[in-house]
């Protein structure tokens, strides 16, 4: 390039022009371009280039220097911040080896909680303490970097070490070892309240399973003008002891502009439903509820909304849709929870101890046929007798009835329950191409004796061919549970789906 006959290098370009060039580049390309010279590196973190920052952080000491650099550069001006603290491999309780993220939380921690026999939880190895210590440091780094950011419009924090919260003695005992006097926890709570108190544009606040960051008094830090303009609020934390909740119905009265809400089901009371049904609140569009066995153990379902409360809520919010995830919840409790007037669009059952009954599935198909689009059935109960059979020797299989009654069904995923091959073919034919996702693990599929006895037909090949014809596209059974699109640690899946569900208004 030449200007007035003189050659001008890239480093001589005006900052405004460099920033304009960067605005056309994807993130990785922008980073590579910034290596051209020191001037371009200075332009890399111009606020207009970073309106949003989405981070998935491994809970590892190696993350801290990079995180500190990035938050120092962007934390004071970023408008949308989403951070997920992901522990890739949780340390096992015994020998110090790592296991997959979902295994420890659901299998050992929840099992210990459900037993209720007073036994101490399994001892944790030193690596687990290191994970906790690192987690606290990373959280403090993020919170301290945005404490004075008045431009923040969306804040979303997710802590993927929530398994450490699911049994009080685990977190209380071992958190005390890495934070003996509780100074770091108090500092995190104070920083979180400062962020809320300093906010001037916050419209989206989402905090899921962040170890003890949110307290029952945190939301009082929000000024009335900010609370009245908030559009999304999600507060999820299984660590809150006793009957304590993170938000009360009285506090919810300030959030008159709320369009989406996510809470623990036990915290969503009939009084809250009445507040949201009041005419001074804008219509609620999305409600996500996590029904967790640990919450039901420590809290009560007696205050949950009754059918008349749901009717009143849907009168004020005619477009309301509900997403429920039930984690290891007994069928008797689900039959109490599933009121007829809930506009249920999505439901996800995930079990490590209990199993869903055919009666629950049948109730869902009869009550929510107008709304239901997503149905996920996951079961990792190890039983030598095989997977449970929802049909229970009845002529009508509940999953076939689901496909027949629920005309809007677009996603069906099943693992750990017996799905008969002929019923799977019927499901595909009933819903056809409208069933966008049909995921069934190979180990869940069974064949009746007549199909196996027919030497002229390969039952597996016939199943694949018939289901593919029914759906109008190639189909195969899922070979491994880890290949399921919905396979992930349950709370992580719920939080991710809740985010997209709430944004899909």
Task: Name, of 88-92, 253-257, 300-304, the range with top average pLDDT.
Answer: 253-257
pLDDT tens figures, 338-382: 999 999 999 999 988 888 999 999 999 999 999 999 999 999 876
Distances (CA, A) of 93 to 6, 31, 129, 133, 243: 69, 41, 11, 17, 29
CB 110, CB 352: distance < 8 Å:
yes
Higher pLDDT, 101 or 428: 428
Q: Tell me, what's the pLDDT at 437?
A: 95
Contact between 313 and 351 under an 8 Å Cβ cutoff? The reply is no
């050992």: which residue's tokens?
A: 108
Q: Percentage of residues in the chain with pLDDT exceeding 90? A: 54
Give percent above pLDDT 70 in the chain: 84
Tens-place pLDDT, residues 108-156: 333 333 333 344 445 556 777 888 889 899 999 999 999 999 999 999 9
pLDDT tens-digit map of 113-122:
333 334 444 5
Q: Taking the CA of residue 57 as centre, how many other CA atoms within 13 Å lie in the half-sphere pointing to its CB?
A: 33
pLDDT at 8: 55
Mean pLDDT of 320-346: 96
**What is the Cα–Cα distance from 183 to 180, expressed in whole angstroms?**
8
Query: Could you tell me the pLDDT band of residue 161, with boundaries at 50, 70 and 90?
Result: low
For residue 349, the tally of other CB atoms under 10 A from its CB is 28
pLDDT on residue 283: 97
How high is the pLDDT of residue 383? 67
Q: Using 50, 70 and 90 to split pLDDT, how confident is the model at 384?
A: low
- The reported pLDDT for the residue numbered 406 is 97
pLDDT per residue as tens digits for the range 480-491? 877 777 777 788
Q: Of 311 and 56, which is predicted with more confidence?
A: 311
Domain boundaries, the chain: 15-44, 51-88+125-230
State phi, psi for 278 to the nearest 5 degrees: -65, 145
* Residues, the chain: 505
Is 196 within 8 Å of 218 (Cβ atoms)?
Answer: yes
Q: Is the pLDDT of residue 179 over 50?
A: yes
Question: Does the pLDDT of residue 93 top 60, yes or no?
Answer: no
Residue 240 confidence (pLDDT) = 55
C-beta separation of 238 from 162 below 8 A: yes
- What's the whole-model pTM score? 0.86
Label each residue of 165-213 as H, E or C: HCCHHHHHHHHHHHCCCCHHHHHHHHHHHHHHHHCCCCCEEEEECCCCC
C-alpha to C-alpha distances, 457 to 135, 218, 400, nearest whole angstrom = 56, 64, 24
> pLDDT digit string (tens) for 259-295?
999 999 999 999 999 999 999 999 999 999 999 888 8
């Amino acid at each position: 390039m030449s200007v007035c006959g003189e050659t001008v290098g890239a480093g001589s370009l005006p900052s405004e022009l460099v920033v304009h060039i960067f605005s056309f580049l994807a993130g990785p390309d922008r980073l590579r371009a910034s290596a051209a010279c020191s001037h371009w590196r200075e332009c890399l973190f111009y606020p207009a280039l970073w309106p949003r920052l989405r981070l998935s952080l491994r809970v590892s000491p190696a993350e801290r220097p990079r995180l500190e650099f990035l938050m120092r550069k962007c934390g004071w001006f970023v408008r949308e911040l989403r951070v997920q603290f992901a522990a890739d491999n949780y340390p096992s309780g015994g020998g110090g080896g790592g296991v997959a993220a979902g295994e420890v939380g659901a299998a050992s921690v929840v099992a210990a909680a459900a037993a209720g026999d007073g036994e101490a939880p399994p001892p944790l190895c030193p690596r687990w303490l290191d994970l906790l210590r690192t987690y606290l440091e990373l959280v403090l780094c993020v919170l301290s970097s945005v404490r004075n950011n008045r431009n923040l419009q969306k804040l979303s924090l997710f802590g993927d070490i929530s398994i450490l919260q699911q049994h009080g003695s685990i977190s209380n005992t071992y958190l005390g070892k890495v934070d003996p006097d509780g100074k770091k926890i108090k500092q995190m709570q104070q920083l979180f309240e400062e962020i809320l108190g300093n906010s001037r544009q916050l419209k989206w606040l989402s905090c899921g399973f962040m170890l003890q960051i949110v307290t029952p008094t945190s939301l009082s830090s929000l000024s009335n003008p900010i609370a009245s303009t908030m559009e999304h609020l999600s507060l999820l934390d299984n660590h809150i002891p006793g009957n304590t909740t993170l938000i009360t119905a009285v506090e919810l009265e300030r959030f008159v502009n709320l369009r989406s809400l996510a809470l623990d089901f036990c915290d969503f009371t009939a009084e809250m439903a009445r507040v949201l049904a009041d005419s001074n609140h804008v219509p609620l569009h999305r409600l996500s509820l996590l029904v967790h066995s640990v919450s039901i153990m420590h809290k009560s379902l007696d205050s949950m909304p009754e059918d008349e409360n749901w009717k009143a809520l849907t009168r004020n919010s005619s477009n309301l849709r509900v997403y429920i995830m039930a984690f290891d919840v007994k069928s008797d409790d689900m039959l109490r929870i599933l009121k007829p007037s809930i506009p249920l669009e999505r439901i996800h059952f995930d079990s490590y101890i209990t199993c869903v009954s055919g009666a629950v599935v049948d109730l869902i198909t009869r009550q929510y046929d107008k709304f239901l689009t997503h149905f996920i059935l996951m079961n990792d109960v190890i039983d030598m007798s095989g997977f449970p059979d929802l049909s229970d020797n009845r002529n009508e299989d509940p999953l076939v009835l689901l496909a027949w009654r629920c005309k809007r069904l677009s996603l069906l995923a099943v693992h750990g329950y017996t799905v008969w091959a002929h019923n799977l073919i019927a499901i595909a034919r009933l819903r056809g191409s409208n069933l966008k996702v049909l995921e069934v693990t190979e180990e869940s599929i069974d064949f009746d004796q007549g199909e196996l006895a027919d030497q002229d037909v390969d039952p597996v090949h016939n199943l694949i061919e018939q289901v593919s014809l029914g759906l109008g596209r190639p189909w195969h059974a899922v070979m491994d549970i880890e290949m399921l699109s919905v396979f992930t640690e349950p709370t992580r899946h719920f939080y991710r789906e809740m985010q997209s569900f709430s944004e899909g208004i």
